[in-house]
Chain A
Amino acid sequence: MRDVAVVGVGITKFGELWKDSFRDIFVEASLKAIENSGVDHIDSMYIGTMSSGLFVGQEHVGAVMADYLGVAPIPATRVESACASGGAAFRSAFFEVASGHSDIVLAGGVEKMTDGADVTEALATAADQEYEVYHGITFPGLYAMIARSYMHDYKTTREQLAAVAVKNHKNGSMNPNAQFRSPITLEQVMKSTMVANPLRLLDCSPVSDGGAAVILASLDVAKKLKRPFIKIKASSQSSDTIALHSRESLTSLKCVSVAAEKVFKQAKLKPKDISFAEVHDCFTIAEVVVTEDLGFFEKGKGGEAAEKGMTAIDGKIPINTSGGLKSKGHPVGATGIAQIIECYEQLTGQSGERQVKKAKYGLAQNMGGSGASCIIHILEAV
């Protein structure tokens, strides 16, 4: 396996993009990434999208996007791993370049969620259709059940969960591509509409359209382009039971701790070496649990850490400097790629007022379902 670099990135605005179609959004992000990298061609591409079939009635996404990006006849494959589809597309592209099979590969992600589909039902397909969804559970409901168990076991308060949303909106207010650029208060979170008790509307990531793309290349190619690039230090993936009720624990996500152990071992690094992390905060409780399972905080201390500002941009370990899924938006398939883009911008010093000082290693953690899949990458500044 040879070293692989991320040599360029492109992202659309996240939000309700009524004027833009599924394919437009992907093509816009991809053209920006190609332009940003300076490459004159791509050898192949991978596209992460969770549920284009339910959201816009379109499958065979690889072919659609290669056609409309004007890159056919190159190989183009859609990759799906629920909310971790973007991370899975990135990992596929990484392997293709690392193996030496290709020199320049595009990894993108896209979701078009506002074209009229029943979003709650479409998202629920990431859970066990026969033994969870049949009984009326929703995604906020699954994470609400984790939250209730967790708050009971660790005496975490509602305010501590709300602190995650407040922090992520503050970060998102500084991100020009974020869906919500408005800071929110603790009180607003605590009084927002109940969605699935104990989780309220402002604990939940929004419904979003959006696309993101990055260009991966061999180190030789990266050096010749003479533009800012970062290195992919390590990549890991794990799976767990599809149904939440079958898990050993309802208060920690084994998929995260398993993938974390592998990725840190591969990178020969420890959690304390990481400068900042983008984590999968589909709900506030997810960020709390994930930051513990990644090893940044002791079990049960994640809520307190958020409340005390330890995860703020100037904190001990900045989490979701982009605004996270919560404020930046969560066009499901695009999310994993958008996390890589935040890492790229931070590690190349292009994050403006969100810039983390002396950023050396960034970690991106992308998760599928209620924690049945997890994909982690560690990226390194050069």
Chain B
Amino acid sequence: MISPRYHRDIPQRYRLEGGKCTKCSYIAFPPRLVCPKCKSKSFEPYHLSREGKILTFTIIKVGPDKFSKETPYVVAIIELNDGARLTTQVADCDVERVALGAKVKLVFRKIQDEGKSGLHCYGYKAILL
């Protein structure tokens, strides 16, 4: 991932900055220019809730080269307490305890490395509460 692209996503990856539609309250993460629900173009800055629950998950046994040293790892779709949804890894967990509906919170972690000599890339992961 080249640096300008990585830099551009820092507000979302590090700080969970999204947008809230001023007309229908839809939460856009990442921010969008057009609300997919009501087509409004008016958003206010919004920080996602950091806690939520697991809607569904998988345990990746065969990963892309970049993640192959980390297998097996858990990836889940999380619904945050404010209703926003995202895909993220569930870290530091006993795989047996990961379940549909399990409560989680988002924490700041390293996600991947850009090759051997590139950037360390950071972002959010979920941990079980």
B contact residues, range: 20 to 34
A contact residues, range: 20 to 34
Stretch in A93-101, A134-142, A326-334, A348-356 with 4+ CB within 8 Å of B: A134-142
- A56 part of interface (Cβ distance < 8 Å): no
Stretch in A3-11, A210-218, A243-251, A359-367 with 4+ CB within 8 Å of B: A243-251
User: Given the complex, which residues of A lie within 8 Å of B88, measured CB to CB?
Assistant: 135
Complex A-B: 9 CB contacts under 8 Å:
A120-B62, A132-B87, A134-B121, A135-B87, A141-B58, A144-B58, A145-B58, A148-B57, A244-B87
Say yes or no: B65 contacts A118, CB within 8 Å.
yes
Stretch in A32-40, A172-180, A194-202 with 4+ CB within 8 Å of B: A194-202
Q: What is the CA–CA distance of A130 and B87 in the complex, to the nearest angstrom?
A: 10
Partner of A136, one of B61, B67, B85: B67
Instruction: Kindly identify, within residues 333 to 377 of chain A, every residue whose CB is under 8 Å from any CB belonging to chain B.
Output: none
- B34 part of interface (Cβ distance < 8 Å): no
User: Given the complex, which residues of A lie within 8 Å of B77, measured CB to CB?
Assistant: 145, 244-245, 250
Say yes or no: B111 contacts A134, CB within 8 Å.
yes
- A20 part of interface (Cβ distance < 8 Å): no
Q: A121-B66, A130-B30, A245-B87 are in contact. Are A135 and B111 (CB under 8 A)?
A: yes
Q: What is the CA–CA distance of A243 and B73 in the complex, to the nearest angstrom?
A: 20
User: Given the complex, which residues of A lie within 8 Å of B38, measured CB to CB?
Assistant: none
Q: A121-B64, A130-B30, A243-B87 are in contact. Are A148 and B58 (CB under 8 A)?
A: yes
In the A-B complex, list the 5 residue pairs whose CB atoms are closest, starting with the nearest. A144-B58, A197-B59, A149-B56, A120-B64, A245-B85
Instruction: Kindly identify, within residues 166 to 222 of chain A, every residue whose CB is under 8 Å from any CB belonging to chain B.
Output: 193-199
Q: What is the CA–CA distance of A141 and B56 in the complex, to the nearest angstrom?
A: 11
Q: What is the CA–CA distance of A1 and B42 in the complex, to the nearest angstrom?
A: 41
- A131 part of interface (Cβ distance < 8 Å): yes
User: Given the complex, which residues of B lie within 8 Å of A246, measured CB to CB?
Assistant: 85
Residues on A facing B (Cβ under 8 Å): 118, 120-121, 124, 128, 130-132, 134-138, 140-141, 144-146, 148-149, 152, 193-199, 241, 243-246, 250
Q: What is the CA–CA distance of A120 and B112 in the complex, to the nearest angstrom?
A: 16
Say yes or no: A135 contacts B62, CB within 8 Å.
no
- Whole-angstrom distance between the Cβ of B97 and the nearest chain A Cβ: 14
- Whole-angstrom distance between the Cβ of A253 and the nearest chain B Cβ: 14
Interface centre among A124, A152, A196 (most CB of B within 10 A): A196
Say yes or no: A195 contacts B100, CB within 8 Å.
no
Which residue of A is nearest B95, CB measured?
A: A197
- B127 part of interface (Cβ distance < 8 Å): no
Q: What is the CA–CA distance of A47 and B61 in the complex, to the nearest angstrom?
A: 34
Q: A145-B58, A244-B77 are in contact. Are A138 and B63 (CB under 8 A)?
A: yes
User: Given the complex, which residues of A lie within 8 Å of B2, measured CB to CB?
Assistant: none
Q: What is the CA–CA distance of A195 and B59 in the complex, to the nearest angstrom?
A: 8
Say yes or no: B58 contacts A196, CB within 8 Å.
yes
User: Given the complex, which residues of A lie within 8 Å of B89, measured CB to CB?
Assistant: 135-136
User: Given the complex, which residues of A lie within 8 Å of B30, measured CB to CB?
Assistant: 130-131
User: Given the complex, which residues of B lie within 8 Å of A130, measured CB to CB?
Assistant: 9, 30
Q: What is the CA–CA distance of A148 and B30 in the complex, to the nearest angstrom?
A: 26
Say yes or no: B75 contacts A136, CB within 8 Å.
yes
User: Given the complex, which residues of A lie within 8 Å of B60, measured CB to CB?
Assistant: 136-138, 141, 196
- Whole-angstrom distance between the Cβ of B41 and the nearest chain A Cβ: 19
- B70 part of interface (Cβ distance < 8 Å): yes
Q: A131-B30, A152-B100, A245-B87 are in contact. Are A118 and B64 (CB under 8 A)?
A: yes
Say yes or no: B62 contacts A145, CB within 8 Å.
no
- Whole-angstrom distance between the Cβ of B123 and the nearest chain A Cβ: 7
Q: What is the CA–CA distance of A56 and B35 in the complex, to the nearest angstrom?
A: 38
